[in-house]
Amino acid sequence: MFTLIDAALSRTRTMLTLLVFILVAGVATYLTIPKESSPDVTIPIIYVSVSHQGISPSDAERLIVRPLEQEMRSIEGVKEMTATASEGHASVVLEFNVGVDLAKAMADVRDAVDLAKPKLPADSDEPTVNEVTLAAEQPVLSVVLYGTVPERTAVLIARQLRDKLESFRQILSVDIAGDREEIVEIIVDPLLMESYGLDQSDIYNLIALNNRVVAAGFVDTGYGRFSVKVPSVFESLKDVLELPIKVEGKQVITFGDVATVRKSFRDPESFARLDGKPAIVLDIKKRSGENIIETVELVKAVLGEAQARDDWPNNLLVKTIWDESEDVKLMLNDLQNNILSAIILVVVVIIAILGVRTSLLVGVSIPGSFLTGLLVLAVFGLTVNIVVLFALIMAVGMLVDGAIVVTEFADRRMQEGMHRSEAYRDAAKRMAWPITASTATTLAAFAPLLFWPDVTGEFMKYLPLTLMATLTASLVMALLFVPVLGSLFGRPQKVTQANQARMVALHNGDFSQATGITKAYYHTLAIAIRHPIKILCGALLMSAAIAFAYGKAGLGAEFFPEVDPPFFSVKVRSYGDLSLNEKDRIMGDIEQVMLGHDEFESVYTRTGGDDEIGVVQITPVDWQYRRSVKAIIEELEQVTDTFPGVEIEYKFPDAGPPVEHDLEIEISARVADDLDKAAQQVRLWAEANPALTNLSDNGSKPGIDWKIDIRRDDASRFAADATLVGNTVQFVTNGLKIGDYLPDDSDEEVDILVRYPSEYRDIGRFDQLRVKTAQGLVPLTNFAQIIPEQKQDTIHRVDGRRVISVMADLKEGYNLALELPAIEQALRDLNLPTSVEFRIRGQNEEQEHSAVFLEKAFMVALAAMAIILITQFNSFYQAFLILTAVIFSTVGVFAGLLIFQKPFGIIMSGIGVIALAGIVVNNNIVLIDTYNQLLKRGLSREEAILRTGVQRLRPVLLTTVTTILGLLPMVLEMNIDIINQKIEFGAPSTQWWSQLATAVAGGLAFATVLTLVLTPCLLMLGRRRKGVSEDEAPQDAQS
C-alpha cells in the first residue's frame, strides 16, 4: 500500500494523465451507455404455448396441458410449474430456481416438448418455447393508427410498418393489437347445395384435391431429362370460382354458382379505440441492452418517413402513447438534478469547513468515482437505469469520506509547517489502513446483496454493483489521486495566528482553548465518560422508546414504496355469456366517463378477453399538471360504481418488480367438487372484509356451453363419425378450414374457410343441418343432439393440480403486514372441506422471501465486517464496540421513518439498514484508530478519549453532514432543477427512493451521536471490564 502511494507521488504526470483519461472515457461512456427506466431483468422462466382453434378449456387441459406436464415433471431445477387451459389455447410456464443454466433449461424444455408432440392433437399448432424477460414483456412505445379509413387499409399499413421496424436490430418485435388474420372466405348457400345434391364433404374435397402441386415424376428420353408436374395451386380468387363442381347434361356447375368467394378477416375477437376512435395499435419492444431513447427516436423517424410518402392516406392519423423514453428522460433529468444538487451541497459544506482549494481536491473524487463506476458497469454490459442513478446519489456523500479524512489530516499537517507534498504523503500513509478498512466494511455490507435471489434480487442488484464500483474507485481517488493533486496544488487553509495557536493547544490536550461546538462537545464528552453505564442505559431506553413509538404509530410495513404511476387501467368484468358487441356497448358507456377529462392525455379502450369485458388504459398528463393518480381514481370510482351488473377494478403499476395483487389466496383440493365450493366460500368472506378491494377470482363464472352429443349406435347405421359432425357444425360457427392460399400481394399464406351466410350462423339452425351418408342427405338430429352444460372458463393448474385463486388489493389506509395475521386466522376459521388446502401468495409471498433474505444478508454483512474489524484492531472488544453502533443505527432508521410518517419498506428500508451497517463503521474505525495511536504515546485512557473526540469531531461531522446532505433532496422528495432554476416537490423519481434515503439519513444521524458520545463511553467501560491489554492496538508503521 505505502509503496503504491510513494510510486503515485513520484509519477505525478502519469497520474494526471490517467485521471484525465478516466474523466474523458467516463463522460463518453455516460453519453453512449444504454439507458432504460427499469433494469433489464432476466427472469428464470420459460413459457410454452400451444394454440388449437376452437378447442374447449377442458379438452385443452386433457389433451394438451397434461401431456406437456407429464414430460416436464422430470426437468431439473424447476421451482414451480403453472399451466392454463383456455378456449383455443394452452400454456405451461416453468419457473426455475435462481442460478440455473437457462441455456440448458431451454434445451431440456424443448426436448420435453418434442417428446410430448406425438400425444398432442393433430390439429394443434406447433408449440412455441420462449424465455421471459421484463424488457421483452414491456413495450417501450405504442403507435396508434386511427381515422376514417377502411380497416383493410389500416391493417395493411400497420403490417408494412411492423415489417420495416422489425428489420432494425434495436427492435425485438412489433405486436399489432386490433389486427385480424386475413382469410379467404367462401360463403355457400345451403339451399343451393341441397338442390344440387351437394354436402359439406363435397366442398371440402373439391378444394383440398384441386389446390396442390402434384409431382408427376420425370422423363428421361435419352436426349434429355425433364421433370413433370401438375400445377393446381390457386393463384387468384377466380381460380376458386371457376372450379367445376358438377355436370348435369351439357351444363357445368361451377363453384361460383353455389358460393361467394371474397377476401376477408376472421371474426373479431376484440375492438380497440383511442379517444373514442377505432384504432390499431403497434406495441414496439426493444432488444435487451439497446438504448431506449435511441430506439424510440428511430421508431419516430420511421413513422415520419412513412407519413411523408405520397401514398399515405390523409385521414389516417398517428399518435404515440406510453412512450417510456419520455419517462426515462424525465427520470434521468430528475435524478441528474439530484446528483448535481447533492454535489453542490456537499462541496459548499466542505468549502465552509476546509476552504475552497481543499474542497476542490475533495470534489475531484466525486466525478472521478462516478465515471469510474460507469466504466465498470459498461465493461460488464450493464445499463443506466433508475436503480443505478439512485446508487450514484446515495454514493455522493459516502465517496468523499476518504478524501475528506486525507485532506483534513494533510491540512492540519501543513498548518503545522509541513510542506504540501510531504503533508499529503504522510496523510495518505497514516490514513491508508483506516480508510481501506472503512471501505472494506462498506463493501462487505453491500456484497451479500449481489446474491439476492428471485426477480426482486435481479431488479435490485444494480444498487450494490454500482455502489461497490464507485466506492472502490473512491478509495483509489482518496489514496492516490487526491494526494497527487494535493502535492501539486494543495495549500493550507488560511487561519489567524490565534486560531493556529488554539489548534496546536487542542492537539496537545489543552482543551481550555476550545470554542464553539468543539467546546460544548468537550464538556459533554468529559461528563459522559465519567458515567458510561448511565449513558449506555440512556441509549438503550431511547432505542426502546423509539421502537415503541413506531409500533404505536401503526405505520406498518410495505413491500415497495408507493409511487405516482405514469398510467393506470380500468378493468371491467361481468358474468354471463355476453357477445362481443354487448361487451363493446358496456365498454363504450364506461369509456364516455373518461373521455374529455382535462387531466388525461389519452384514453385507450380495448374490448374482449377471456376473463374480462375489456380494459381502459389511461395516460394522464405530466405529474406537475394534475392531481395524484389515487385522487383521480377516487373521483372516477364514485361515477363508475353506479354501473349495474359489472365489476370495475382500477389498477396501476407498483414500483419495483411486477406483482399483480397485494393479496392472492391460492386454493387447491384433492376433490374437484370441493374446489369450487371452497373458492366460493373464500370469495364471500373477502367481499365482507372491509380491508379488501378490487376483488376477483379465476374460477368459472355462470354461463353455458353447448355440447353436441353423438349417439354412436345411431351414427354407425349411417356410417357417420365425430369428424363428419364436427366439420358440419363448423359451417354455422367459425368456418371450416379447407386449405390455404398465397395471395400475390402477401408473403404469408392465408386460410381458406367455408361457412354458411350470417343468417344461418345460429345454434338454433342445428336441427336444419344435413350430412351426406350412404342413405343420402339426412339431418344431424338422426344421430346427434345439442345439449347445454355449465360453462368452463380458463383452467389454472399449479404443479399438476387444479387451483382457483381469489385476488384482492388492500384499501387505502390498510397495511398488509398488519392485516395478514387476521386474514390467515379468518381463513382457518372458514371450516373449508378437509380436502382443501390454501396458501397466501401475491405481494406477501415476495415480501416474505425478500425479508428472509435481507435478514440473512444483514447477518452475513455483520460477520464479514467483524472479521475485517478484528483484523484491523486485533481486538474482540473494539470490533464488538463498532458493531454495537451498527445495531443502534437501526433505531435511527425507525426514528427517521417516524418523523416523516413513512412505513418500513421491506426492500428500501431493509437495504437502508444494510447500507448503514457499512457507513456507520467508518467514523468509528477512524476514531478508534486515533484512540489507539494516542494510547501508544503513553496518554491515559481518559486523556486519549478526550483528545480523540476533539480531534475527530470535525471530520466525523463533515463526513456525516455530507452524506446526509447528499440524500436530503430525496428525503424531502425535492427536485432542484438548477439549469431551469426551479424547485419541485413530489416527483415520481424522488418518491421511489425517499424511503431508503430517509432510512439512511435518520440512521446515520442517530449513529453519529452514538459515535461521538456512546463509543467513547464504551471505551471507558471496556477499560474497567477488560483491562488495558484488550485495547492495545498493533504497532503502526507510521506511528
Burial 751-785 (b: 16+ CB within 10 A, else e): bbbbbbeeebeeeeebeebbbbbeeeebebebbbe
Give the pLDDT confidence score for residue 855 in this predicted structure. Answer: 87
Is residue 722, in this structure, part of any structural domain at all? no
Q: Name the domain boundary from 134, 156, 184.
A: 134
**Predicted pLDDT of residue 1037:** 33
**Same domain, residue pair 19 and 121:** no
Domain identity same for 8 and 127:
no
Domain presence at residue 475 = yes
For 955-977, give the DSSP string: HHHHHHHHHHHHHHHHHTTEEEE
- Does one domain contain both 79 and 7? no
**Res. 509: pLDDT tops 80:** no
Residue 887 DSSP SS3: helix
pLDDT for residue 110 is more than 90: yes
Q: Is the pLDDT of residue 675 over 50?
A: yes
Residue 1026 has pLDDT above 50, yes or no: no
Q: How far apart are CA 796 and CA 792, in angstroms?
A: 11
396 and 438 co-located in one domain:
yes
Share of the chain above pLDDT 90, in %: 10
First vs last C-alpha separation in the chain: 16
Residue 83 pairs in a beta bridge with: 92, 797
Strands 225-231 and 750-755: unpaired
pLDDT of residue 93: 92
What range defines the domain where residue 391 resides? 2-32+327-494+529-560+848-1031
Residue 22 shares a structural domain with residue 96: no
For residue 1023, being part of any structural domain is answered with: yes
Residue 617 is assigned to a structural domain of this protein? no
Q: Tell me what pLDDT residue 1032 has.
A: 42
Q: Tell me, what's the pLDDT at 71?
A: 92
Residue 652: pLDDT band by 50, 70, 90 thresholds?
A: confident
Say which range, 11-20, 128-137, 973-982, has the weakest mean pLDDT: 128-137
Q: Which of 296, 264, 265, 262 is nearest to 282 (CA)?
A: 296
Kindly state the average pLDDT of the residues 60-73.
92
pLDDT of 1001 higher than 60: yes
Banded pLDDT at 1031 (limits 50, 70, 90): very low
Domain-located, residue 798: no
Q: Distance (Å, rounded) from C-alpha 995 to C-alpha 915?
A: 13
Q: Give 91's strand partners.
A: 49, 84
Average confidence (pLDDT) over 634-650? 87
Helix (H, G, I), strand (E, B) or coil at 521: helix
The residue among 82, 106, 134 that closes a domain is: 134
Q: Does 752 reside within a domain?
A: no
Same domain for 336 and 454, yes or no, is yes
Q: Check whether residue 14 and residue 49 sit in a common domain.
A: no
The pLDDT score that the predictor gives to residue 90 is 92
Please indicate whether residue 1032 or residue 192 has the higher confidence score (pLDDT): 192
Quick one: cell of 304? Answer: 415520419
Q: What is the CATH number of the domain that holds 86?
A: 3.30.70.1430
Confidence of residue 508 (pLDDT cuts 50, 70, 90): low
User: Based on the domain organization, do 975 and 858 belong to the same domain?
Assistant: yes
Which pTM value belongs to this model? Answer: 0.71
Q: How far is the CA of 812 from the CAs of 633, 641, 662, 821, in angstroms? A: 12, 17, 12, 18
| Averaged pLDDT for residues 415-443 | 84
Whether residue 342 is found in the same domain as residue 451: yes
Q: pLDDT-based confidence at 512, cuts 50/70/90? A: low
CB atoms within 10 A of CB 21: 10
If you search the block for the grid coordinates 483519461, which residue do you land on?
21
Between helix 988-1009 and helix 876-899 the angle, nearest 10°, is 130
- Look at the chain and report how many structural domains it folds into: 2
Q: Is 6 in the same domain as 130?
A: no
Question: Which three cell numbers, joined as nine digits, stand for 281?
Answer: 395499435
Whether residues 55 and 15 fall in one domain:
no
Within-domain flag for 707 = no
Task: Evaluate whether residue 985 is within a structural domain.
Answer: yes
* Final residue in a domain of this structure, among 108, 134, 160: 134
What pLDDT is attached to residue 505? 64
The residue with cell 461521538 is 1012
Question: Strand runs (DSSP E) across 222-338, as ranges?
Answer: 225-231, 244-248, 251-254, 259-265, 271-274, 277-286, 316-321
126 and 26 in a common domain: no
CATH for 406: 1.20.1640.10
Q: What is the pLDDT of residue 161?
A: 92
